């Protein structure tokens, strides 16, 4: 009797392990609760005449999470990724559901590279700047063109 109960419990545990193992990391917009959520600090960034209200991703875990799992991003909002050093920081679209524009900014607050209308379908491609950057700003798709970011050169962090 004890052996039968042990086998049943072991079988149930094995089934649960297999189910969780093969579904881990597969997220749809209805399953955003499965993602780790962080409380982000906020800041304002002035680009031309436009103020972007941005959440700040400082830690490695916050940067890895980024905008993953979000199903919308309001106009003139975004996420600012802050890195400790200048580098060719790569951005990917893992578990993203919305297209975005990506803006790389150097330590002198100059825009050094942009990628426009980056689709979630591009994952696992990694996007990198042509010049080393210290910051990355993710904003709704269409922002770069609408604001004329590439011609502005410098941004202000408030």
Instruction: With a cut of 90, say whether residue 98 has pLDDT above it.
Output: yes
The answer to whether position 150 is within a domain reads: yes
The answer to whether position 100 is within a domain reads: yes
pLDDT band, residue 9 (cuts 50/70/90)? low
pLDDT band, residue 7 (cuts 50/70/90)? low
The answer to whether position 19 is within a domain reads: no
Peptide bond into 3 cis (omega under 30): no
The answer to whether position 41 is within a domain reads: yes
The answer to whether position 22 is within a domain reads: no
* Residue 86 burial by Cβ neighbours in a 10 Å radius (0-12, 13-18, 19+): middle
Q: In DSSP terms, which residues pair with 136 in a beta bridge? A: 81, 104
With a CB cutoff of 8 Å and minimum separation 6, the contacts of 99 are 117, 118, 119, 120, 141
pLDDT score, position 28: 45
Provide the domain count of the chain: 1
In the chain, how long is the greatest CA-to-CA distance?
77
Distance of CA 116 to the CA centre of its chain: 15
Range of the domain at 96: 29-157
The answer to whether position 24 is within a domain reads: no
The answer to whether position 78 is within a domain reads: yes
What are the residue ranges of helices labelled H in the chain? Answer: 2-23, 60-65, 143-147, 149-152
Instruction: With a cut of 80, say whether residue 6 has pLDDT above it.
Output: no
Q: Which of 18-22, 65-69, 128-132, 153-157 has the lowest mean pLDDT?
A: 18-22
The answer to whether position 112 is within a domain reads: yes
16-75 pLDDT tens trace: 443 343 334 444 444 444 445 567 899 999 998 999 999 999 999 999 999 999 999 999
Mean pLDDT on 143-154: 86
Q: What is the mean pLDDT of the chain?
A: 83
Residues above pLDDT 90, as percent of the chain? 69
* Higher local confidence (pLDDT), 29 or 101: 101
* Higher local confidence (pLDDT), 70 or 13: 70
Please give the model's pTM, rounded to 2 decimal places.
Answer: 0.76
CB atoms within 10 A of CB 154: 13
Specify the CATH number for the domain of residue 52. 2.60.120.1140
């Amino acid at each position: 009797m004890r052996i039968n109960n042990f086998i049943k419990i072991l079988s149930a545990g094995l089934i649960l392990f297999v189910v969780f193992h093969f579904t881990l990391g597969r997220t749809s917009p209805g399953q955003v609760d499965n993602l780790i959520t962080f409380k982000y600090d906020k800041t304002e960034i002035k680009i031309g005449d436009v103020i972007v209200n941005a959440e700040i991703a400082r830690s490695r875990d916050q940067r890895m999470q980024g905008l993953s799992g979000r199903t919308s991003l309001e106009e003139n909002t975004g996420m600012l990724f802050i890195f400790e050093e200048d580098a060719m920081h790569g951005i990917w679209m893992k578990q993203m559901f919305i297209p975005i524009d990506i803006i790389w900014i150097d330590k002198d607050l100059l825009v050094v590279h942009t990628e426009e209308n980056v689709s979630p379908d591009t994952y696992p491609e990694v996007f990198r700047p042509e010049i080393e950057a210290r910051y990355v700003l993710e904003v709704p798709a269409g922002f770069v063109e609408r604001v004329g970011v590439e011609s502005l050169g410098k941004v202000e962090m408030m």
